[in-house]
Amino acid sequence: AEGATAAVTVTRAHGGHGAISVDYATADGTAHAPADYTPASGTLNWTDGDTTPQTFFVPIIADGANEGTEFINLSLTNPTNDALLGPQATASLAIGTGPGTFTDADGDRVTVRLAPRIGGGSLLVFQDDPDGDGKGAIDSIQLTGTTFKAVVTIAVTRPRGGTGDGRVELGSVTGGGDLLKLSAPKADLTADGIQLAGRLGTLRVGNLSAGSGIVAGGSPTQKTALFMGNIADGATIQLGSAIGGLAAGAIGAATVTAPSAGTITVKGDFGGTITLSGAGVLAGRPALGRLVVRGSMLPGATVTAPSAGAIVVRHDLAGDIAVSGAGVLAGKPALGTLSVGGTVRDSLVSVGGNINLVTAAGFDGSRLFAGYTGPDDGVGGSFNIPAAVGTVRVTGRTNAFADSFLVATVFKNVYLTSINSANAGTPFGIFADATVGHVTVTLPTKLIYPGQATLGDFRVEVV
């Protein structure tokens, strides 16, 4: 930080035979003397038998400019008594300032605050401004000694008549303590993103770029609320605490990992991976309360949890869902509701327990297994958990149910508005280990089970 002193340590290796000395000196890199640092030079001496590391110091100038991380060059020369120089490291001067107002690259005013005082701790801001003109993104914010009373805000204001976009890039926020709230809705995360060892209460940020992330500690019985924009491919969210709520724009091939989640809302398409362990979840409560995807669940997307209250996809479902049923009370659903506004296409929905309700406009090339693992038609597989499916409704009026398999111990009611009964001679349909209560197919011709069990390649079977 400005006004501090950088310590540089030189180590003598391979024994301490003989007295030796070496000269040291600094030279400009991206940091410039005397504006950024005071040059240092001299000689370091070791007596015979002495292997103690020697240290010299480089004063950093408090010039008031936040220029990010800059570098100086260090040199060791003129070793005496046949001593040899080993590999030398590059030194960086991290020149930061406390909370305040900065200017980003396109002219927006960025104000960083830490409050309240009773929250304790301190904050350093490092701006990405290698040319020293006082403008640039926020390279990093370093938090020290914060508690769960501390609140960090990053506000972005576009000056009247200015050319800025009203947003700022934020490389990282790091800290070893807790944080009650980080409010930066106009800051887009780049680089490492949010990296906190402690608990995080509430986070509001902009977009997450590829490779950025949100990592925070906490325990499974604590909750974190997350509000953000779009999440790019390769971004990561990893929490030690439960997700109380997560609201995001579109989510690419990103990963979300936590003990449990209350409500997750995706305003666009979802192409990522959600993995919930179920740690800390009370008996009788689902590990995933509710997932709502207002777009489509894309191919390659996955949701894995011990239990789920409701999964709602407004358009197509082309990813996979795995609900293990671990920890679910006897007689209760492992999955309450699966509702798909479009078509379930080339998907595997595997549930280790009961399902209350499944609705979709279409089911094409997909599998719905409840308490079952094995081949699609239920023959030769394992019904390892007695599982009942309450109601299945597929509502599309033209070939809506095609080349798909519903397999469970028990089906109570299945309503298929239309099926594509021609499947190149390959049977498909509904297969149960114990009973099938009622099945109705309306189009292209009527089928009612019990009574009729086949229509073309479509089957209703107890295997």
What residue ranges do the domains of the chain occupy?
5-93, 330-463
Per-residue model confidence (pLDDT) at position 97: 61
Confidence at residue 450, expressed as pLDDT on a 0 to 100 scale: 97
- CA proximity to 335, closest of 315, 363, 305: 305
pLDDT > 90 in the chain, percent = 75
pLDDT band at 321 (very low <50, low <70, confident <90, very high): very high
Using H for helix, E for strand and C for coil, what is the string for 164-229? CCCCEEEEEEEECCCEEEEEECCEEEEEEEEEECCCEEEEEECCECCCCEEEECCCCCCEEEEECC
Query: What is d(CA 263, CA 292) in angstroms, rounded to the nearest whole number?
Result: 8
Per residue in 256-314, pLDDT tens?
999 999 999 999 999 999 999 999 999 999 999 999 999 999 999 999 999 999 999 99
Whole-model pTM: value is 0.84
d(CA 432, CA 386): 11
Q: What is the pLDDT of residue 107?
A: 86
Distance CA 295, CA 272 (A): 13
Q: Which amino acid is it at 258?
A: A
Find tokens 């040199």 and name the residue: 75
Mean pLDDT of 114-125: 81
Tell whether the model's pLDDT for residue 41 goes beyond 80: yes
- For residue 182, how many other CB atoms are within 10 A of its CB? 25
**Burial environment of residue 415 by CB neighbours within 10 A (0 to 12, 13 to 18, 19 or more):** middle
What average pLDDT does range 229-237 have in this prediction? 98
Residue 59 above 80 pLDDT?
A: yes
Among the residue ranges 27-31, 208-212, 291-295, 352-356, the one predicted with the least confidence is: 27-31
Distances (CA, A) of 193 to 81, 211, 272, 413: 49, 9, 18, 48
Q: Is 191 exposed, middle or buried (0-12, 13-18, 19+ CB in 10 A)?
A: middle
Q: Would the pLDDT of 383 be above 60?
A: yes
Query: Residue 412: what pLDDT?
Result: 98
What's the alpha-carbon Rg for the chain, to the nearest Å? 31
Task: Quickly state the pLDDT bin for 384 (edges 50, 70, 90).
Answer: confident
Q: What is the pLDDT of residues 391-431, one digit of tens each?
A: 999 999 999 999 999 999 999 999 999 999 999 999 999 99
> Residue 75 above 70 pLDDT?
yes
User: Which contacts qualify for 158-167: CB closer than 8 Å, 24 or more apart?
Assistant: 158/107, 158/108, 158/109, 159/107, 159/108, 159/109, 162/107, 162/108, 163/106, 163/107, 164/104, 164/106, 164/107, 164/108, 165/106, 165/108, 166/108, 167/108, 167/206
Q: What are phi and psi of 245, to 5 degrees?
A: -160, 145
Indicate the pLDDT class of residue 93, thresholds 50, 70 and 90: low
pLDDT digits (tens, 9 = 90+) for 341-350: 999 999 999 9
> Rounded to 5, what percent of the chain is helix, strand, coil?
0, 55, 45
pLDDT confidence of residue 353: 97
Residue whose pair of structure tokens reads 């099938």 in the numeric block? 436
Specify the pLDDT at position 2: 53
Which residues lie closer than 8 Å to 14 by C-beta, 6 or more apart? none
Asked if pLDDT for residue 199 goes beyond 80, the answer is yes
pLDDT surpassing 90 at residue 370: yes
Check the CA dihedral 162-166-295-272 and report its sign.
Answer: positive
Tokens (6 digits) for 369:
């297994």
* 297 secondary structure, DSSP code: B
Hunting for tokens 């040291």 — which residue is that?
24
Confidence band, pLDDT 50/70/90 cuts, at residue 6: confident
Cβ-contact 65, 134 below 8 angstroms: yes
Copy the structure tokens of residue 8. 């540089």
User: Is 367 a residue whose pLDDT tops 70?
Assistant: yes
Question: Confidence class of residue 96 from pLDDT cuts 50, 70 and 90?
Answer: low
> Mean pLDDT: which of 60-64, 72-76, 335-339 is highest?
335-339
Asked if 461 contacts 452 with a C-beta cutoff of 8 angstroms, the reply is: no
Q: Domain 5-93 is classified in which CATH homologous superfamily?
A: CalX-beta domain (2.60.40.2030)
